[in-house]
């Protein structure tokens, strides 16, 4: 029997399980998402990001003492070597924001000496989560031509990040919007970015290299870039009165993808999308309100049109409106996704290396020509 007769290729690794996990459970038919058993709606309503960090890295929601240890470690991790911020500053101002973030992380990796897995992995992950806040805040500051800033220690990771980014104070409501965003995007099992991080971890490379692999996979429009792409549609439409005509021309007749819709795992509404929609309803004023109205009309048309294919809004559909309402330009949406997902990436690589490590080395089925005789250059036609 030929090799090709025996082998079945799973395109896009659909329904292939690459690891066991106690981190995140998804029921794609029912639209359920849980972190270590806790429903995402309950966590978004009640838990702060630091509590979710402890839950994901150490297995349980923290008690007061454990929580303050997490906060102390984060607060003491915001500092980065000066050259890291300088690297980001000297790169072209029109660099893609995610590329700037990659550069910042790669610069941090140059300071990483003698990293060894299983020697304080979780503490290392906490340190990286702290430093990613600094890198993300400074993606915005570099893009806007502002002087670099290190987040100041505070009682809240979300607050320190917002204040460093914009150099101003935020209300409790705004800070908790940021906090909710961080909780909602913290993990989602093994999408492309997490899988990329796992491939890198499987070679026993270091954690910063896992981060760089994950971010490069995140930025495409089919994954983390979808939040910005969804928002670009709202901008292009420009006014709620133009949604129907836009949808007919671009989606029905044009056959284009509706960004912020569809998911490999969910066959119903993404539960995170519902939370973001209700958050958008509370923040949206002015321009953001207009984009919300456009999105709501687009959702109605999309859900009806794609009903048979079971394609529904995903988390990226409304999240951008919430972040825009908080004051972020849309170029920051993918870096914000990466800021939050750093937790999921690192929790998965730690779980994998600690408990079930094996080099990830799949196969490709050869379908090219059989054995051929080499022809010297001057004899080739």
Catalytic center residues? 263, 316
Could you tell me the two tokens for 14?
A: 């659909």
3-state secondary structure of 26: strand
Q: Which of 7, 16, 147, 222 binds ligand CMC (CB under 6 A)?
A: 222
Q: Which of 31, 130, 191, 320 binds ligand CMC (CB under 6 A)?
A: 191
* 184 is an interface residue for ligand CMC by CB under 6 A: no
* 261 is an interface residue for ligand CMC by CB under 6 A: yes
* 16 is an interface residue for ligand CMC by CB under 6 A: no
* 19 is an interface residue for ligand CMC by CB under 6 A: no
CB of 119 to ligand CMC, least distance (A): 32
Structural contact between residues 24 and 35, judged by C-beta atoms closer than 8 angstroms = yes
Report the alpha-carbon distance of residue 24 to residue 356 in Å, rounded: 16
Percent helix / strand / coil, the chain, rounded to 5: 60, 5, 35
Could you tell me the two tokens for 316?
A: 């990226």
Interface region with ligand CMC, contact rule CB under 6 A, candidates 73-81, 151-159, 172-180, 309-317: 309-317
Structural contact between residues 335 and 225, judged by C-beta atoms closer than 8 angstroms = no
Q: Would you say 58 or 305 has its CB closer to ligand CMC?
A: 305
* 107 is an interface residue for ligand CMC by CB under 6 A: no
* 219 is an interface residue for ligand CMC by CB under 6 A: no
Beta bridge partners of 25: 34
For the chain, how big is the Rg over CA atoms in Å? Answer: 22
* 311 is an interface residue for ligand CMC by CB under 6 A: yes
Q: Which of 137, 226, 295, 339 binds ligand CMC (CB under 6 A)?
A: 226
Report the alpha-carbon distance of residue 250 to residue 236 in Å, rounded: 11
Could you tell me the two tokens for 248?
A: 């007919």
Structural contact between residues 34 and 40, judged by C-beta atoms closer than 8 angstroms = yes
Residue with tokens 């750093």: 342
Interface region with ligand CMC, contact rule CB under 6 A, candidates 149-157, 258-266, 360-368, 372-380: 258-266
* 262 is an interface residue for ligand CMC by CB under 6 A: yes
Interface region with ligand CMC, contact rule CB under 6 A, candidates 160-168, 200-208, 220-228, 286-294: 220-228
Q: Which of 242, 257, 274, 289 binds ligand CMC (CB under 6 A)?
A: 257
Q: Point out the residue whose Cβ comes nearest to ligand CMC.
A: 262
Instruction: Please give the sequence-ordered ranges of beta strands (E in DSSP) within the chain, or none if there are none.
Output: 24-27, 32-35, 38-39
Q: Which residues bind ligand CMC (CB under 6 A)?
A: 12, 191, 222-224, 226, 257-264, 309, 311, 314-316
């Amino acid at each position: 029997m030929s090799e090709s007769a025996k082998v079945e290729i799973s395109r896009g690794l659909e329904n292939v399980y690459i690891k066991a996990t106690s981190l995140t459970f998804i029921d794609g038919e029912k639209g359920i998402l849980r972190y270590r058993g806790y429903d995402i709606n309950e966590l978004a309503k009640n838990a702060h990001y630091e509590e979710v960090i402890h839950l994901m890295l150490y297995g349980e929601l923290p008690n007061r003492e454990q929580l303050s240890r997490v906060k102390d470690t984060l607060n003491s991790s915001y500092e980065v070597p000066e050259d890291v911020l300088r690297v980001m500053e000297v790169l072209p101002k029109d660099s893609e924001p995610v590329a700037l973030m990659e550069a910042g992380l790669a610069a941090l990796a140059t300071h990483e000496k003698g990293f060894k897995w299983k020697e304080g992995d979780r503490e290392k992950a906490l340190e990286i989560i702290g430093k990613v806040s600094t890198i993300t805040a400074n993606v915005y500051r570099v893009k806007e031509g502002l002087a670099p800033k290190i987040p100041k220690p505070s009682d809240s990771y979300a607050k320190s990040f917002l204040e460093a980014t914009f150099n101003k104070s935020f209300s409790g409501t705004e800070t908790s919007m940021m906090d909710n965003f961080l909780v909602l995007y913290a993990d989602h099992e093994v999408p492309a970015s997490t899988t990329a991080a796992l491939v890198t971890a499987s070679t026993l490379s270091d954690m910063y290299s896992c981060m760089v692999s994950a971010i490069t996979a995140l930025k495409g429009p089919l994954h983390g870039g979808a939040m910005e792409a969804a928002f670009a549609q709202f901008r292009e439409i420009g006014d709620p009165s133009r949604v129907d005509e836009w949808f007919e021309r671009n989606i029905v007749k044009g056959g284009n993808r509706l960004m912020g819709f569809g998911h490999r795992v969910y066959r119903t509404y993404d539960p995170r999308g519902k939370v973001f929609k209700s958050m958008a309803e509370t923040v949206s004023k002015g321009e953001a309100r207009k984009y919300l109205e456009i999105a709501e009309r687009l959702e109605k048309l999309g859900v009806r049109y794609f009903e048979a294919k079971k394609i529904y809004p995903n988390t990226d559909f409304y999240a951008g409106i919430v972040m825009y309402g908080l004051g972020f330009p849309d170029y920051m949406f993918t870096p914000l996704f990466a800021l939050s997902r750093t937790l999921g990436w690192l929790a998965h690589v730690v779980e994998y290396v600690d408990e079930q490590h094996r080099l990830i080395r799949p196969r490709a089925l050869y379908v090219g020509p059989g054995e051929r005789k080499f022809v010297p250059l001057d004899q080739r036609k």
